[in-house]
A = this chain, B = another copy of it.
Amino acid sequence: MADTEKYAIGVDLGGTSVKLGIVSQQGKIIKKTAVETKAEDGPESVIAQIKYGINILLHKNKFKLYGIGIGSPGTVSIKNGIVENPPNFPGWKKINLGMIIQKEFHTKVHIDNDANAAAIGEMIFGAGKNIDSFVMITLGTGVGGGIVFNRKIFRGEHGGAGEVGHITIDYKGEKCNCGSFGCIESYVGNSYLIRRVKIELNNYPDSIIWDLVSKNPDNLTPKIINIAAEKGDDFAKSVVHDLGYFLGAAFSSVSNLLDISTFIIGGGVAGFGDPLFKTIKEIMAQRVLTPLRPKIKIIPARLKNDAGIKGASSLVFYNS
Contacts and interface: CB of A to CB of B under 8 A. Distances in A.
Interface of A: 75, 132-133, 145, 147, 149, 154-164, 166-172, 178-181, 245-246, 249-250, 252-254, 256-261, 286-292, 295
Given A157-B260, A179-B290, A257-B257, 6 more contacts: A149-B156, A163-B256, A170-B170, A178-B289, A180-B252, A257-B258
Contacts of A161: 257-260
A254 B162 CA distance: 10
Chain B CB count within 10 A is highest, among A145, A149, A171, A292, for: A171
A171 B171 contact: no
A164 B257 contact: yes
Contact of A157 (B160, B261, B289): B261
A75 to B, nearest CB: 6
Contact of A168 (B147, B163, B249, B259): B249
A289 B163 contact: yes
A133 B157 contact: yes
A259 B169 contact: no
B257 A168 contact: no
A246 B156 contact: no
A166 B289 CA distance: 8
A147 B132 CA distance: 20
Closest 10 CB pairs of A and B: A156-B259, A171-B249, A161-B259, A180-B287, A160-B259, A166-B256, A163-B256, A169-B171, A167-B253, A168-B253
A157 B259 contact: yes
A257 B167 contact: yes
A260 B156 contact: yes
Given A252-B168, A291-B158, A179 B286 contact: yes
A172 to B, nearest CB: 8
A89 to B, nearest CB: 16
Chain B CB count within 10 A is highest, among A133, A156, A161, A257, for: A257
Given A170-B170, A249-B168, A288 B180 contact: yes
Chain B CB count within 10 A is highest, among A157, A160, A163, A181, for: A157
A179 B292 CA distance: 13
A287 B164 contact: no
Chain B CB count within 10 A is highest, among A252, A258, A295, for: A258
A171 B290 CA distance: 18
A240 B180 CA distance: 21
A289 B132 CA distance: 28
A145 B253 CA distance: 13
